[in-house]
A and B are shown apart, each in its own frame.
Chain A
Amino acid sequence: MKPERKKNPVAAARPSTGRTPGDVEPSFGEAPVPIWIFLVLGVLLYCGFVYLDESAGGFNSLVYEPYASYDEVKKHQPATGSPLIAQGREVYGRTCTACHQPAGTGTPGQFPPLAGSDWVNAAGPDRVIRIVLNGIHGPLKVNGADYANVMVPWKDTLKDDEIAAVISFIRQEWGNKASAVKPDEVKAIRDATKDRAEAWTGDELTKVPEGGEAK
């Protein structure tokens, strides 16, 4: 049978001085919970739910910082319009944004812009293809502004189709209006310049035809 709930008789008779007999176990007092704790809880609950509303990604496990919702992730998926331009956008994003910036603006005094650039908008892409393949250094005038910096060569890192894609991309983005580039054109220039080890200079390139004709 269940024993009756007993109060500990020793605890009830607390000694006034000296040590407690060692066999007294702790017991409960009956003070109430102060009401303001529930107010704190209420405020916290409200703030918590507001925060989760905007920062929990809809509890979808495919949503990671910095995206706020699954819809936002889907909205940012690459446009699959022209495969060449879309590929160029991907290559640009992972290769060129460090210096030329995502909006093609470059950095004044340091890296030339691609948006509205006279070099990029040239009738033929041959000079730009050479720049991407072998790099460029020394004084350079872009849109009338002077630059003197180094661009590393990409011929060993990017393949012909990637170079063709990224040049096609920059030649039609940000208001640029110039023709696209085919991988064969890149291959032809790569073969023609395969013995060249150093980067181009601006002066050398101005002597190279813009393209469309034979080199």
Chain B
Amino acid sequence: MTSTATTAPVSPVHAPEVRSAAPSVAEVEASAALPLFLLLVSAVKWLFLGSFFGWLTFVKLHLPALLSGTPALTYGRTEPVMWICLLYGFCLQAGFGAAIWLTCRLSRSLLYNRSLVILSAVLWNIAVLAAVIAVLSGNSSGFPRLEFPGTIAPLFIASAVLIGISILQTLHNRVERALYVSSWFIFAAICWFPWILSTSSYFLLVNPLRGSVQPVLNLWYANNLTTLCIAPFALAVIFYFIPKLTERPLYSRSLAVLGFWGYVLLASWGGFDLSAGIPRWLVSVSAVMTIFLIVPGLAIGLNWRATFSGANPRKSVELGLIKFAAGAFILSILAGVLTALPAVRNFVAYTHLGYALAYLGTFGVGAAAFLGATHHILPRLLGEADWPSVRLSKWHYLGTTVGTALIVGGFAIAGLMQGTALADASVPFITSVKRTSPGVGIAILGFLFFSAGQVMLLLNISTLFWRCCASCCCGSGPVSRNSEVRR
């Protein structure tokens, strides 16, 4: 890292041209354009599919007989498929895409190993599709968040490693030597994801450990996947866009350091909130570490808030989405702390509140942050000043935010009401099911809003591409390319 002389020579086909001055922003973004299209647009498609499967899955709670004659569409298969689409298809892929763009911009360097990244993007999407097909055809592994068979995991690992190498090389050759906080989070995520996936897929899918320890490993993986692989990408995005859109420096480097190291050290320990079947020390330590997360949460929240205060940023969809993501992150830390308290945990255990928190993270933090980044990035890559349809952008924003709020709120209501019934042994179990009905109904509505919002974005993306292709091929399109305007 300290001397370029010891780096192995890179083949001229892959190495960017050596420049004495930093490449311009336009050149940097152009070098990453095709990989970013592949990653970000595919991600949005998986997001739509995932939210559709989410709607289908939870509608079945109201209409159990819906499509029940088709084995592939039974609840127990559509639910894991929804998570595969959302976590692997969207969150991780969009996270990698955002990380690549952020790294290129922050390093002021052209993207290294561009063709490998393109290969990785293709591999990743093949892997997600294979995972979805495997689960729908009954070959789910039975492990939540790791439902694909062991043969698919190496595709994810290889793809992530290739992208990670590309990011690291780009970072290594950065012009701006100081590392911004977004790069710290990206570094953490790209190192940790291959590590946890290879450990978990080997010891749960390929060469399974004894059943007694499988739940521990499974919970460790599921928690680290969302809190230490997906969330850091989202945090990198939020930390980048808040100062950028408010046109001020980030309030405090020291708070960023405290927030980063606190989060990385503590977040890995959460997730063991089952109180049965897990050794007691794991449950207790996990609860304590989750509560300690208040400290990095405060550090991060204060940093963001202080950067915002007094600023009067220009309103835009990406600002709205980034603010939503920031608020959702702080809320999820607080909710995590609250539900880690044993009395609360015992009340909400196994209820729909688990879904509320999961969607607060996946949609509230992940989708909002990555969609905000996508919203900013895609037009720039095509040299456009803005999206073709401002109205579609706005509806996308509304669909995403209102949809997420309804989903999280609906499941929270359902979960709390379910908890009141489950806590009292004299209340028959079926009552707890009935009490979830209104809340689940609100969540189903939320999924409709959310899916509709993503359709708006997909329409906008296709118009964007069509305009760009038309102007390129025909020489004149509805709006001429304006490569001078930068947002």
Are chains A and B touching in the complex at the 8 Å CB cutoff? yes
Partner of B253, one of A21, A30, A40, A62: A30
| Known contacts A44-B291, A56-B285, A62-B279: A29-B175 contact under CB 8 Å | no
Q: How long is the Cα–Cα vector from A207 to B175 in the complex, in angstroms?
A: 102
Number of A-B contacts (CB under 8 A): 131
| Known contacts A30-B253, A48-B291, A65-B280: A14-B176 contact under CB 8 Å | no
The answer to whether B177 and A37 touch across the interface, beta carbons within 8 angstroms, is: no
A contact residues around B182 at 8 Å (CB): 26
Instruction: Fill in one digit per residue for B281-305: 1 if any A CB lies within 8 Å of its CB, else 0.
Output: 1111100100110110011001000
| One of B127-135, B238-246, B441-449 contacting the partner | B238-246
A contact residues around B249 at 8 Å (CB): 11, 26-29
The answer to whether A20 and B247 touch across the interface, beta carbons within 8 angstroms, is: yes
Partner of B25, one of A14, A23, A45, A67: A23
Query: Does B250 make an interface contact (CB < 8 A)?
Result: yes
Total chain B interface residues with beta-carbon distance under 8 A: 55
Closest CB in chain A relative to B431 CB, distance in Å: 22
| One of B139-147, B254-262, B472-480 contacting the partner | B254-262
Query: Does B24 make an interface contact (CB < 8 A)?
Result: yes
Query: Does A32 make an interface contact (CB < 8 A)?
Result: yes
Query: Does A5 make an interface contact (CB < 8 A)?
Result: yes
The answer to whether A34 and B302 touch across the interface, beta carbons within 8 angstroms, is: yes
Partner of A22, one of B176, B256, B342, B487: B487
The answer to whether B244 and A24 touch across the interface, beta carbons within 8 angstroms, is: yes
Most chain A Cβ neighbours within 10 Å, of B254, B275, B291, B306 = B254
Query: Does B481 make an interface contact (CB < 8 A)?
Result: no
The answer to whether A40 and B295 touch across the interface, beta carbons within 8 angstroms, is: yes
Q: How long is the Cα–Cα vector from A63 to B278 in the complex, in angstroms?
A: 9
Query: Does B106 make an interface contact (CB < 8 A)?
Result: yes
The answer to whether A57 and B250 touch across the interface, beta carbons within 8 angstroms, is: no
The answer to whether A31 and B252 touch across the interface, beta carbons within 8 angstroms, is: yes
Q: How long is the Cα–Cα vector from A36 to B226 in the complex, in angstroms?
A: 30
Find the B residue at minimum CB distance from A61: B279
The answer to whether B281 and A60 touch across the interface, beta carbons within 8 angstroms, is: yes
Q: How long is the Cα–Cα vector from A53 to B298 in the complex, in angstroms?
A: 26
The answer to whether B244 and A29 touch across the interface, beta carbons within 8 angstroms, is: no
Query: Does A174 make an interface contact (CB < 8 A)?
Result: no
The answer to whether A52 and B285 touch across the interface, beta carbons within 8 angstroms, is: yes
The answer to whether A40 and B280 touch across the interface, beta carbons within 8 angstroms, is: no
Query: Does A8 make an interface contact (CB < 8 A)?
Result: yes
Q: How long is the Cα–Cα vector from A59 to B280 in the complex, in angstroms?
A: 8
Partner of A3, one of B105, B177, B247: B177
Partner of A23, one of B3, B24, B280, B294: B24
| Known contacts A28-B250, A34-B302, A56-B285: A64-B279 contact under CB 8 Å | yes
Closest CB in chain A relative to B33 CB, distance in Å: 15
| Known contacts A25-B106, A61-B279: A2-B177 contact under CB 8 Å | yes
Closest CB in chain A relative to B484 CB, distance in Å: 10
| Known contacts A6-B177, A63-B279: A30-B252 contact under CB 8 Å | yes
Q: How long is the Cα–Cα vector from A23 to B107 in the complex, in angstroms?
A: 12
Query: Does B180 make an interface contact (CB < 8 A)?
Result: yes
The answer to whether B284 and A37 touch across the interface, beta carbons within 8 angstroms, is: no
Find the B residue at minimum CB distance from A60: B281
Q: How long is the Cα–Cα vector from A11 to B106 in the complex, in angstroms?
A: 13
Partner of A26, one of B239, B275, B281: B239
Partner of B281, one of A20, A28, A45, A59: A59
| Known contacts A23-B486, A26-B239, A65-B276: A33-B281 contact under CB 8 Å | no
Query: Does B178 make an interface contact (CB < 8 A)?
Result: yes
Q: How long is the Cα–Cα vector from A21 to B255 in the complex, in angstroms?
A: 27
| Known contacts A44-B294, A58-B281, A67-B280: A26-B240 contact under CB 8 Å | yes
Q: How long is the Cα–Cα vector from A31 to B282 in the complex, in angstroms?
A: 37
Find the A residue at minimum CB distance from B275: A65
Q: How long is the Cα–Cα vector from A6 to B176 in the complex, in angstroms?
A: 7
The answer to whether B24 and A32 touch across the interface, beta carbons within 8 angstroms, is: no
Query: Does B11 make an interface contact (CB < 8 A)?
Result: no
Closest CB in chain B relative to A15 CB, distance in Å: 8
B contact residues around A59 at 8 Å (CB): 281
B contact residues around A5 at 8 Å (CB): 177-178
Query: Does A201 make an interface contact (CB < 8 A)?
Result: no
Q: How long is the Cα–Cα vector from A40 to B258 in the complex, in angstroms?
A: 13
Q: How long is the Cα–Cα vector from A5 to B251 in the complex, in angstroms?
A: 21
Find the B residue at minimum CB distance from A31: B252
Query: Does A176 make an interface contact (CB < 8 A)?
Result: no
Query: Does A41 make an interface contact (CB < 8 A)?
Result: yes
Query: Does A19 make an interface contact (CB < 8 A)?
Result: yes
The answer to whether A64 and B280 touch across the interface, beta carbons within 8 angstroms, is: yes
B contact residues around A44 at 8 Å (CB): 291-292, 294-295
A contact residues around B283 at 8 Å (CB): 65
| Known contacts A19-B314, A32-B254: A40-B298 contact under CB 8 Å | yes
The answer to whether A28 and B295 touch across the interface, beta carbons within 8 angstroms, is: no
Q: How long is the Cα–Cα vector from A2 to B2 in the complex, in angstroms?
A: 7
A contact residues around B251 at 8 Å (CB): 29, 31
Q: How long is the Cα–Cα vector from A214 to B98 in the complex, in angstroms?
A: 89
Q: Which residues of A contact B (CB under 8 A)?
A: 2-3, 5-6, 8, 11, 14, 19-34, 37, 40-41, 44-45, 48, 51-52, 55-65, 67
Which 9 A-B pairs rank lowest in CB-CB distance, beginning with the nearest? Answer: A22-B486, A26-B243, A31-B252, A28-B253, A57-B280, A23-B25, A61-B279, A29-B249, A48-B288
Query: What 15 new A-B contacts, CB under 8 Å, besides A11-B249, A60-B279?
Result: A6-B177, A19-B486, A22-B380, A26-B182, A28-B249, A28-B253, A31-B251, A33-B254, A37-B302, A40-B294, A51-B284, A51-B288, A52-B284, A56-B281, A56-B284
A-B contact pairs, 15 of them (CB 8 A): A3-B177, A6-B175, A11-B249, A21-B486, A25-B176, A27-B249, A28-B180, A29-B249, A30-B254, A32-B252, A33-B299, A56-B281, A57-B281, A59-B281, A64-B276
Q: Which residues of B contact A (CB under 8 A)?
A: 2-3, 24-25, 105-106, 108, 175-178, 180-182, 239-240, 242-244, 247-256, 258, 275-276, 278-285, 288, 291-292, 294-295, 298-299, 302, 306-307, 314, 342, 380, 486-487
